[in-house]
Amino acid sequence: MAGSATEIRVVERSAVYPLPRTVAATSLPLTFLDIPWLPFSPGQTLFFFNIPTSTSHFMQAILPNLKHSLSLTLHHFFPLSGRLATPPHPAVPRLEYGADDSIFLTIAEAVSGDFKNLGGYHPRMAQDFHKLMPLLQSSSKFGSKHESLLAIQIIVFPHHGICIGFTLRHVVADGRTFNNFLKTWAAASSSPLTKNGESLGLNQLLMASHDRSLIKDPNGLEEILLKEWRSIQIPQKASLSKFHPDMTRATFVVGPNEMEKIKKWILTRSEHLFESTQLLLSPYVITCSFVWVCWMKTHWSNSTENHPKDSTHYFGFIAGGITRLNYSVPSTYSGNCVGFGRSEARRDNLMGENGVLHAAKAIGNTIKSLNSDFLGGAENWISEWEEMRDSELHVMVTGSPKMDLYGLDFGWGRPIKIEEVSIDETRSISLCESREVSGGVEIGVCLPKPKLELFWTLFNQVYKIRNE
Protein backbone atom coordinates (compact mmCIF):
# COMPACT_ATOMS: atom_id res chain seq x y z
CA MET A 1 0.00 0.00 0.00
CA ALA A 2 1.97 2.94 -1.31
CA GLY A 3 1.40 6.55 -0.36
CA SER A 4 2.13 8.66 2.67
CA ALA A 5 -0.24 9.14 5.60
CA THR A 6 -2.84 11.83 4.99
CA GLU A 7 -2.71 15.03 7.05
CA ILE A 8 -4.81 18.12 6.41
CA ARG A 9 -4.75 21.77 7.46
CA VAL A 10 -8.06 23.60 7.81
CA VAL A 11 -8.09 26.77 5.72
CA GLU A 12 -11.63 28.02 6.26
CA ARG A 13 -14.82 27.13 8.07
CA SER A 14 -18.02 28.83 7.02
CA ALA A 15 -21.80 28.58 7.17
CA VAL A 16 -23.67 28.37 3.87
CA TYR A 17 -27.29 29.48 4.04
CA PRO A 18 -30.13 28.78 1.62
CA LEU A 19 -30.51 31.70 -0.79
CA PRO A 20 -32.49 33.71 -1.42
CA ARG A 21 -33.32 33.94 2.29
CA THR A 22 -37.05 33.42 1.77
CA VAL A 23 -37.55 29.97 3.29
CA ALA A 24 -39.80 30.27 6.32
CA ALA A 25 -39.06 28.47 9.56
CA THR A 26 -40.45 24.98 9.11
CA SER A 27 -41.00 21.83 11.13
CA LEU A 28 -41.40 18.59 9.20
CA PRO A 29 -42.72 15.39 10.80
CA LEU A 30 -40.89 12.12 10.30
CA THR A 31 -42.83 9.61 8.25
CA PHE A 32 -42.74 5.90 9.03
CA LEU A 33 -40.18 5.60 6.21
CA ASP A 34 -37.85 8.09 7.95
CA ILE A 35 -38.08 6.61 11.46
CA PRO A 36 -36.11 3.38 10.79
CA TRP A 37 -33.06 5.55 10.04
CA LEU A 38 -32.98 7.10 13.52
CA PRO A 39 -30.65 4.43 15.00
CA PHE A 40 -28.24 4.57 12.05
CA SER A 41 -24.92 6.34 12.22
CA PRO A 42 -24.37 8.97 9.49
CA GLY A 43 -23.39 8.02 5.98
CA GLN A 44 -20.02 9.33 4.80
CA THR A 45 -19.14 9.61 1.13
CA LEU A 46 -16.06 10.96 -0.67
CA PHE A 47 -15.88 12.14 -4.27
CA PHE A 48 -12.43 12.53 -5.85
CA PHE A 49 -12.05 14.96 -8.77
CA ASN A 50 -9.01 15.32 -10.99
CA ILE A 51 -8.68 19.12 -10.96
CA PRO A 52 -5.00 20.17 -10.62
CA THR A 53 -5.37 23.50 -8.84
CA SER A 54 -3.43 25.35 -6.18
CA THR A 55 -5.11 26.11 -2.88
CA SER A 56 -5.03 29.86 -3.53
CA HIS A 57 -6.55 29.46 -7.00
CA PHE A 58 -9.26 27.19 -5.61
CA MET A 59 -10.12 29.71 -2.86
CA GLN A 60 -10.24 32.67 -5.23
CA ALA A 61 -11.57 31.28 -8.51
CA ILE A 62 -13.58 28.13 -7.72
CA LEU A 63 -14.90 28.30 -4.16
CA PRO A 64 -17.06 31.45 -4.53
CA ASN A 65 -19.11 29.81 -7.29
CA LEU A 66 -19.39 26.56 -5.32
CA LYS A 67 -20.71 28.44 -2.29
CA HIS A 68 -23.19 30.48 -4.31
CA SER A 69 -24.51 27.47 -6.22
CA LEU A 70 -24.77 25.54 -2.94
CA SER A 71 -26.84 28.37 -1.46
CA LEU A 72 -29.14 28.34 -4.47
CA THR A 73 -29.53 24.58 -4.19
CA LEU A 74 -30.21 24.63 -0.46
CA HIS A 75 -33.10 26.98 -1.11
CA HIS A 76 -34.81 24.00 -2.76
CA PHE A 77 -33.42 21.36 -0.35
CA PHE A 78 -33.67 23.44 2.83
CA PRO A 79 -34.25 20.49 5.24
CA LEU A 80 -30.60 19.52 4.70
CA SER A 81 -29.68 22.83 6.33
CA GLY A 82 -31.83 22.11 9.35
CA ARG A 83 -31.62 19.85 12.38
CA LEU A 84 -32.97 16.61 13.74
CA ALA A 85 -34.76 17.58 16.94
CA THR A 86 -35.14 14.80 19.49
CA PRO A 87 -37.23 16.06 22.41
CA PRO A 88 -37.90 14.09 25.61
CA HIS A 89 -40.54 11.38 25.53
CA PRO A 90 -43.47 11.46 24.77
CA ALA A 91 -42.75 14.12 22.12
CA VAL A 92 -41.62 12.67 18.79
CA PRO A 93 -38.48 13.47 16.76
CA ARG A 94 -38.90 15.87 13.86
CA LEU A 95 -36.93 17.85 11.30
CA GLU A 96 -36.64 21.55 12.03
CA TYR A 97 -35.44 24.40 9.86
CA GLY A 98 -34.98 27.95 11.17
CA ALA A 99 -33.90 31.17 9.50
CA ASP A 100 -30.43 30.89 11.04
CA ASP A 101 -29.80 27.28 10.00
CA SER A 102 -27.09 26.51 7.49
CA ILE A 103 -24.68 23.90 6.14
CA PHE A 104 -21.30 23.74 7.86
CA LEU A 105 -18.66 23.88 5.10
CA THR A 106 -14.98 23.23 5.79
CA ILE A 107 -12.16 23.92 3.32
CA ALA A 108 -8.84 22.20 3.99
CA GLU A 109 -5.52 21.64 2.31
CA ALA A 110 -3.73 18.30 2.26
CA VAL A 111 -0.24 18.88 3.64
CA SER A 112 0.61 15.21 3.10
CA GLY A 113 -1.05 12.30 1.40
CA ASP A 114 -1.07 10.77 -2.06
CA PHE A 115 -4.12 11.86 -4.06
CA LYS A 116 -3.62 9.21 -6.73
CA ASN A 117 -3.23 6.49 -4.10
CA LEU A 118 -6.36 7.54 -2.20
CA GLY A 119 -8.41 7.63 -5.38
CA GLY A 120 -7.41 4.13 -6.47
CA TYR A 121 -9.02 0.72 -6.37
CA HIS A 122 -6.16 -1.15 -4.72
CA PRO A 123 -5.87 -1.77 -0.94
CA ARG A 124 -5.36 1.42 1.10
CA MET A 125 -5.31 2.20 4.82
CA ALA A 126 -8.83 3.08 5.93
CA GLN A 127 -7.73 5.54 8.62
CA ASP A 128 -6.41 7.93 5.95
CA PHE A 129 -9.97 8.46 4.69
CA HIS A 130 -11.45 9.33 8.07
CA LYS A 131 -9.41 12.52 8.21
CA LEU A 132 -11.10 13.71 5.03
CA MET A 133 -14.62 13.54 6.43
CA PRO A 134 -16.54 16.46 8.03
CA LEU A 135 -18.19 16.24 11.43
CA LEU A 136 -21.82 16.93 12.23
CA GLN A 137 -22.70 19.40 14.96
CA SER A 138 -25.00 18.69 17.91
CA SER A 139 -26.35 20.59 20.89
CA SER A 140 -28.83 20.12 23.72
CA LYS A 141 -31.30 22.61 25.18
CA PHE A 142 -34.06 22.03 27.73
CA GLY A 143 -33.62 18.27 27.37
CA SER A 144 -34.05 18.35 23.59
CA LYS A 145 -31.16 17.23 21.40
CA HIS A 146 -30.50 19.00 18.09
CA GLU A 147 -28.22 17.44 15.46
CA SER A 148 -27.19 18.88 12.13
CA LEU A 149 -28.10 16.73 9.16
CA LEU A 150 -25.41 17.45 6.58
CA ALA A 151 -21.81 18.66 6.69
CA ILE A 152 -19.46 19.15 3.75
CA GLN A 153 -15.67 19.27 3.61
CA ILE A 154 -13.57 20.05 0.54
CA ILE A 155 -9.89 19.11 0.62
CA VAL A 156 -7.46 20.51 -1.92
CA PHE A 157 -4.50 18.33 -2.85
CA PRO A 158 -2.39 21.10 -4.43
CA HIS A 159 -1.79 20.58 -8.16
CA HIS A 160 -3.33 17.11 -8.07
CA GLY A 161 -7.06 17.27 -7.33
CA ILE A 162 -9.77 17.84 -4.77
CA CYS A 163 -12.10 15.59 -2.84
CA ILE A 164 -15.50 16.52 -1.46
CA GLY A 165 -16.68 14.70 1.63
CA PHE A 166 -20.30 14.52 2.78
CA THR A 167 -21.53 13.38 6.19
CA LEU A 168 -25.30 12.86 6.09
CA ARG A 169 -27.95 11.69 8.54
CA HIS A 170 -30.13 9.50 6.34
CA VAL A 171 -33.17 10.27 8.44
CA VAL A 172 -33.53 13.40 6.26
CA ALA A 173 -32.91 11.88 2.84
CA ASP A 174 -32.55 8.53 1.12
CA GLY A 175 -29.97 7.92 -1.59
CA ARG A 176 -32.33 9.07 -4.34
CA THR A 177 -33.06 12.38 -2.60
CA PHE A 178 -29.40 13.02 -1.83
CA ASN A 179 -28.50 12.20 -5.42
CA ASN A 180 -31.09 14.77 -6.56
CA PHE A 181 -29.46 17.33 -4.26
CA LEU A 182 -25.97 16.58 -5.61
CA LYS A 183 -27.09 16.73 -9.24
CA THR A 184 -28.91 20.00 -8.59
CA TRP A 185 -25.85 21.54 -6.95
CA ALA A 186 -23.65 20.37 -9.81
CA ALA A 187 -26.07 21.79 -12.40
CA ALA A 188 -26.16 25.14 -10.58
CA SER A 189 -22.36 25.19 -10.31
CA SER A 190 -21.67 24.40 -13.95
CA SER A 191 -24.36 26.64 -15.50
CA PRO A 192 -24.24 30.38 -16.21
CA LEU A 193 -26.20 32.72 -13.94
CA THR A 194 -29.08 34.99 -14.87
CA LYS A 195 -29.06 38.71 -14.09
CA ASN A 196 -30.89 37.92 -10.84
CA GLY A 197 -28.17 35.51 -9.72
CA GLU A 198 -30.24 32.40 -10.45
CA SER A 199 -28.71 29.43 -12.24
CA LEU A 200 -29.94 28.45 -15.68
CA GLY A 201 -29.15 24.87 -14.71
CA LEU A 202 -31.65 24.99 -11.85
CA ASN A 203 -34.37 26.19 -14.20
CA GLN A 204 -34.00 22.96 -16.18
CA LEU A 205 -34.49 20.69 -13.14
CA LEU A 206 -37.59 19.64 -11.26
CA MET A 207 -37.51 21.06 -7.75
CA ALA A 208 -37.85 19.02 -4.57
CA SER A 209 -41.18 18.34 -2.91
CA HIS A 210 -41.23 18.34 0.91
CA ASP A 211 -44.91 17.40 1.29
CA ARG A 212 -44.87 14.64 3.91
CA SER A 213 -48.56 13.93 3.30
CA LEU A 214 -47.48 12.15 0.11
CA ILE A 215 -46.48 9.17 2.30
CA LYS A 216 -49.58 7.29 3.44
CA ASP A 217 -49.66 5.27 6.66
CA PRO A 218 -52.97 3.38 6.83
CA ASN A 219 -51.46 0.63 8.99
CA GLY A 220 -50.19 2.85 11.79
CA LEU A 221 -46.54 1.97 11.18
CA GLU A 222 -45.34 5.32 12.51
CA GLU A 223 -46.37 4.54 16.09
CA ILE A 224 -45.12 0.95 15.89
CA LEU A 225 -41.69 1.98 14.63
CA LEU A 226 -41.39 4.88 17.09
CA LYS A 227 -42.05 2.44 19.91
CA GLU A 228 -39.37 0.10 18.56
CA TRP A 229 -36.89 2.97 18.26
CA ARG A 230 -37.58 4.13 21.83
CA SER A 231 -36.95 0.61 23.08
CA ILE A 232 -33.35 0.94 21.88
CA GLN A 233 -33.00 3.83 24.40
CA ILE A 234 -30.28 5.62 22.43
CA PRO A 235 -31.06 7.69 19.32
CA GLN A 236 -27.90 6.74 17.46
CA LYS A 237 -26.09 3.45 17.78
CA ALA A 238 -22.36 3.42 18.39
CA SER A 239 -19.94 1.53 16.19
CA LEU A 240 -20.29 -2.24 16.33
CA SER A 241 -16.66 -2.82 17.11
CA LYS A 242 -13.50 -0.91 17.74
CA PHE A 243 -11.83 0.45 14.64
CA HIS A 244 -8.73 -1.62 13.95
CA PRO A 245 -5.65 0.35 12.87
CA ASP A 246 -4.98 -2.21 10.13
CA MET A 247 -8.42 -1.79 8.56
CA THR A 248 -7.87 -1.70 4.82
CA ARG A 249 -10.27 -0.76 2.05
CA ALA A 250 -10.36 -1.72 -1.62
CA THR A 251 -12.78 -1.55 -4.52
CA PHE A 252 -13.72 -4.51 -6.72
CA VAL A 253 -15.55 -4.42 -10.04
CA VAL A 254 -17.99 -6.95 -11.47
CA GLY A 255 -18.71 -6.34 -15.16
CA PRO A 256 -21.49 -7.63 -17.42
CA ASN A 257 -19.26 -10.42 -18.74
CA GLU A 258 -18.62 -11.77 -15.23
CA MET A 259 -22.31 -11.40 -14.36
CA GLU A 260 -23.32 -13.38 -17.43
CA LYS A 261 -20.86 -16.18 -16.65
CA ILE A 262 -22.08 -16.39 -13.06
CA LYS A 263 -25.69 -16.41 -14.30
CA LYS A 264 -25.00 -19.26 -16.75
CA TRP A 265 -23.20 -21.17 -14.01
CA ILE A 266 -26.21 -20.76 -11.72
CA LEU A 267 -28.68 -21.86 -14.40
CA THR A 268 -26.72 -25.02 -15.20
CA ARG A 269 -27.06 -26.14 -11.59
CA SER A 270 -30.32 -24.59 -10.40
CA GLU A 271 -32.72 -27.10 -11.97
CA HIS A 272 -30.95 -30.00 -10.30
CA LEU A 273 -30.81 -28.19 -6.95
CA PHE A 274 -34.16 -26.33 -6.93
CA GLU A 275 -36.09 -28.29 -9.61
CA SER A 276 -38.58 -25.98 -11.37
CA THR A 277 -38.15 -22.98 -9.06
CA GLN A 278 -37.81 -19.79 -11.10
CA LEU A 279 -34.89 -17.71 -9.83
CA LEU A 280 -34.73 -13.92 -10.11
CA LEU A 281 -31.28 -13.35 -11.61
CA SER A 282 -30.98 -9.61 -12.17
CA PRO A 283 -27.49 -8.04 -12.27
CA TYR A 284 -28.10 -6.79 -8.71
CA VAL A 285 -29.02 -10.26 -7.42
CA ILE A 286 -26.08 -11.90 -9.18
CA THR A 287 -23.58 -9.35 -7.82
CA CYS A 288 -24.94 -9.45 -4.28
CA SER A 289 -25.04 -13.26 -4.24
CA PHE A 290 -21.44 -13.57 -5.31
CA VAL A 291 -20.29 -10.90 -2.84
CA TRP A 292 -22.24 -12.51 0.02
CA VAL A 293 -20.52 -15.84 -0.52
CA CYS A 294 -17.07 -14.21 -0.82
CA TRP A 295 -17.80 -12.41 2.47
CA MET A 296 -18.93 -15.64 4.15
CA LYS A 297 -15.85 -17.59 3.08
CA THR A 298 -13.62 -14.71 4.16
CA HIS A 299 -15.06 -14.71 7.68
CA TRP A 300 -15.90 -18.35 8.30
CA SER A 301 -13.52 -20.60 6.34
CA ASN A 302 -11.00 -20.66 9.19
CA SER A 303 -13.23 -19.53 12.02
CA THR A 304 -12.88 -21.14 15.43
CA GLU A 305 -16.05 -19.52 16.81
CA ASN A 306 -18.58 -21.95 18.20
CA HIS A 307 -21.55 -21.46 15.90
CA PRO A 308 -23.47 -24.41 14.43
CA LYS A 309 -22.89 -25.02 10.74
CA ASP A 310 -26.61 -24.62 10.12
CA SER A 311 -26.65 -21.15 11.72
CA THR A 312 -28.85 -18.64 9.91
CA HIS A 313 -27.05 -15.73 8.26
CA TYR A 314 -28.74 -12.58 7.00
CA PHE A 315 -27.99 -10.33 4.05
CA GLY A 316 -29.54 -6.87 4.39
CA PHE A 317 -30.11 -4.32 1.65
CA ILE A 318 -32.13 -1.20 0.85
CA ALA A 319 -35.06 -1.40 -1.57
CA GLY A 320 -36.57 1.58 -3.37
CA GLY A 321 -40.22 2.32 -2.66
CA ILE A 322 -41.08 4.89 -5.34
CA THR A 323 -42.20 2.15 -7.75
CA ARG A 324 -43.23 -0.43 -5.14
CA LEU A 325 -45.87 1.42 -3.13
CA ASN A 326 -49.46 0.95 -4.24
CA TYR A 327 -49.87 4.71 -4.76
CA SER A 328 -47.94 7.35 -6.62
CA VAL A 329 -45.01 9.22 -5.05
CA PRO A 330 -43.23 11.75 -7.32
CA SER A 331 -39.54 11.19 -8.01
CA THR A 332 -38.95 14.72 -6.72
CA TYR A 333 -40.15 13.78 -3.23
CA SER A 334 -37.49 14.88 -0.74
CA GLY A 335 -37.26 12.42 2.12
CA ASN A 336 -37.08 8.68 2.56
CA CYS A 337 -39.00 6.35 0.30
CA VAL A 338 -37.08 3.13 0.76
CA GLY A 339 -37.62 -0.11 2.63
CA PHE A 340 -35.41 -2.79 4.12
CA GLY A 341 -34.83 -6.22 2.67
CA ARG A 342 -33.41 -9.08 4.72
CA SER A 343 -32.52 -12.37 3.08
CA GLU A 344 -31.54 -15.44 5.04
CA ALA A 345 -29.66 -18.65 4.32
CA ARG A 346 -27.88 -21.34 6.28
CA ARG A 347 -24.13 -21.14 6.70
CA ASP A 348 -23.46 -24.65 5.43
CA ASN A 349 -25.40 -23.86 2.24
CA LEU A 350 -23.58 -20.57 1.67
CA MET A 351 -20.19 -22.13 2.34
CA GLY A 352 -20.77 -25.13 0.07
CA GLU A 353 -19.91 -25.45 -3.61
CA ASN A 354 -23.41 -24.20 -4.51
CA GLY A 355 -23.26 -21.24 -2.16
CA VAL A 356 -23.88 -18.64 -4.89
CA LEU A 357 -27.05 -20.50 -5.91
CA HIS A 358 -28.42 -20.49 -2.37
CA ALA A 359 -27.54 -16.83 -1.99
CA ALA A 360 -29.19 -15.94 -5.30
CA LYS A 361 -32.37 -17.80 -4.37
CA ALA A 362 -32.55 -16.09 -0.96
CA ILE A 363 -31.94 -12.56 -2.27
CA GLY A 364 -34.17 -13.03 -5.31
CA ASN A 365 -37.05 -14.33 -3.18
CA THR A 366 -36.73 -11.33 -0.85
CA ILE A 367 -36.92 -8.94 -3.80
CA LYS A 368 -39.96 -10.80 -5.15
CA SER A 369 -41.65 -10.36 -1.76
CA LEU A 370 -40.84 -6.65 -1.74
CA ASN A 371 -42.22 -6.31 -5.26
CA SER A 372 -45.53 -7.89 -4.29
CA ASP A 373 -45.88 -6.47 -0.76
CA PHE A 374 -43.38 -3.70 -0.11
CA LEU A 375 -44.54 -3.03 3.44
CA GLY A 376 -44.96 -6.65 4.45
CA GLY A 377 -43.12 -7.03 7.76
CA ALA A 378 -42.31 -3.29 7.90
CA GLU A 379 -43.25 -3.23 11.58
CA ASN A 380 -40.09 -5.28 12.22
CA TRP A 381 -37.62 -3.21 10.18
CA ILE A 382 -35.86 -1.67 13.17
CA SER A 383 -35.67 -4.82 15.29
CA GLU A 384 -34.52 -6.99 12.39
CA TRP A 385 -31.76 -4.59 11.39
CA GLU A 386 -30.71 -4.18 15.01
CA GLU A 387 -30.29 -7.96 15.12
CA MET A 388 -28.06 -7.86 12.04
CA ARG A 389 -25.93 -5.00 13.32
CA ASP A 390 -25.42 -6.69 16.67
CA SER A 391 -24.04 -9.92 15.23
CA GLU A 392 -20.94 -10.89 13.29
CA LEU A 393 -23.04 -13.49 11.48
CA HIS A 394 -24.61 -10.99 9.11
CA VAL A 395 -23.73 -8.38 6.51
CA MET A 396 -25.47 -5.38 4.94
CA VAL A 397 -24.96 -3.55 1.65
CA THR A 398 -25.39 0.17 1.14
CA GLY A 399 -25.81 2.24 -2.00
CA SER A 400 -27.20 1.34 -5.39
CA PRO A 401 -25.77 0.87 -8.89
CA LYS A 402 -28.74 2.85 -10.27
CA MET A 403 -27.77 6.29 -8.88
CA ASP A 404 -25.36 7.35 -11.65
CA LEU A 405 -23.13 9.08 -9.11
CA TYR A 406 -20.25 9.07 -11.58
CA GLY A 407 -22.32 11.40 -13.75
CA LEU A 408 -21.84 14.19 -11.19
CA ASP A 409 -20.12 17.18 -12.86
CA PHE A 410 -19.57 20.56 -11.21
CA GLY A 411 -17.90 21.90 -14.35
CA TRP A 412 -14.51 20.22 -14.09
CA GLY A 413 -15.39 16.67 -15.14
CA ARG A 414 -16.95 13.69 -13.42
CA PRO A 415 -15.42 12.02 -10.33
CA ILE A 416 -12.44 9.73 -10.80
CA LYS A 417 -13.41 7.72 -7.70
CA ILE A 418 -16.18 7.47 -5.11
CA GLU A 419 -15.63 6.00 -1.63
CA GLU A 420 -18.29 5.13 0.93
CA VAL A 421 -16.23 5.73 4.06
CA SER A 422 -18.94 4.82 6.57
CA ILE A 423 -18.70 1.09 5.75
CA ASP A 424 -15.57 1.09 7.95
CA GLU A 425 -17.74 1.53 11.04
CA THR A 426 -20.87 -0.37 10.07
CA ARG A 427 -19.33 -3.58 8.73
CA SER A 428 -21.15 -3.07 5.45
CA ILE A 429 -20.35 -3.38 1.76
CA SER A 430 -20.96 -0.46 -0.59
CA LEU A 431 -22.31 -0.67 -4.12
CA CYS A 432 -22.35 1.88 -6.94
CA GLU A 433 -22.19 1.84 -10.71
CA SER A 434 -18.79 1.36 -12.29
CA ARG A 435 -17.04 4.40 -13.70
CA GLU A 436 -15.09 2.56 -16.37
CA VAL A 437 -17.08 -0.61 -17.12
CA SER A 438 -20.46 0.03 -18.73
CA GLY A 439 -23.12 -1.92 -16.84
CA GLY A 440 -20.62 -2.88 -14.16
CA VAL A 441 -20.82 -2.54 -10.38
CA GLU A 442 -18.16 -1.21 -8.02
CA ILE A 443 -18.01 -3.01 -4.67
CA GLY A 444 -16.39 -1.25 -1.72
CA VAL A 445 -15.03 -3.47 1.06
CA CYS A 446 -13.20 -2.56 4.28
CA LEU A 447 -11.63 -5.32 6.39
CA PRO A 448 -8.55 -6.00 8.49
CA LYS A 449 -5.67 -6.51 6.09
CA PRO A 450 -5.44 -10.34 6.29
CA LYS A 451 -9.17 -10.72 5.66
CA LEU A 452 -9.12 -8.25 2.79
CA GLU A 453 -6.31 -10.24 1.17
CA LEU A 454 -8.40 -13.40 1.49
CA PHE A 455 -11.48 -11.64 0.10
CA TRP A 456 -9.36 -10.42 -2.82
CA THR A 457 -8.20 -13.98 -3.54
CA LEU A 458 -11.72 -15.40 -3.38
CA PHE A 459 -13.15 -12.62 -5.52
CA ASN A 460 -10.56 -13.08 -8.26
CA GLN A 461 -11.02 -16.83 -8.29
CA VAL A 462 -14.77 -16.38 -8.87
CA TYR A 463 -14.89 -19.95 -7.52
CA LYS A 464 -13.65 -21.13 -10.90
CA ILE A 465 -16.96 -20.03 -12.43
CA ARG A 466 -15.20 -18.20 -15.24
CA ASN A 467 -13.45 -21.38 -16.35
CA GLU A 468 -16.39 -23.76 -16.21
Rounded Cα distance between 301 and 43, Å, is 30
Catalytic, 244? Answer no
Detail the DSSP E strand segments found in 391-440.
395-400, 417-420, 428-433
Catalytic, 409? Answer yes
Residue 444 neighbours by CB under 8 Å, 6+ apart: 249, 250, 251, 399, 419, 420, 423, 429, 430, 431, 432
Cis before 450? omega within 30: no
CB 150 within 8 Å of CB 194:
no
Q: Which residues are bridge partners to 428 per DSSP?
A: 396
Q: At what angle do helices 283-300 and 449-461 cross, to 10 degrees?
A: 130
Rounded Cα distance between 429 and 2, Å, is 23
- Where b means 16+ CB within 10 Å and e means fewer, 437-467 reads eeebbbbbbbbebebbebbbebbeebbebee
Task: Indicate which residue of 130, 146, 244, 409 is catalytic.
Answer: 409
Alpha helices, H only, 204-343 = 221-232, 256-274, 283-300
Nearest Cα neighbor of 336 from 325, 326, 321, 323 is: 321
Rounded-to-10 torsion of CA 167, 173, 174, 175 = -50
Nearest Cα neighbor of 318 from 345, 334, 304, 338 is: 338
CB 37 within 8 Å of CB 228:
no
Task: Indicate which residue of 75, 76, 160, 170 is catalytic.
Answer: 170
Nearest Cα neighbor of 122 from 232, 271, 249 is: 249
Question: From the centroid of its chain, how far is CA 287?
Answer: 17
Residues labelled catalytic: 170, 409
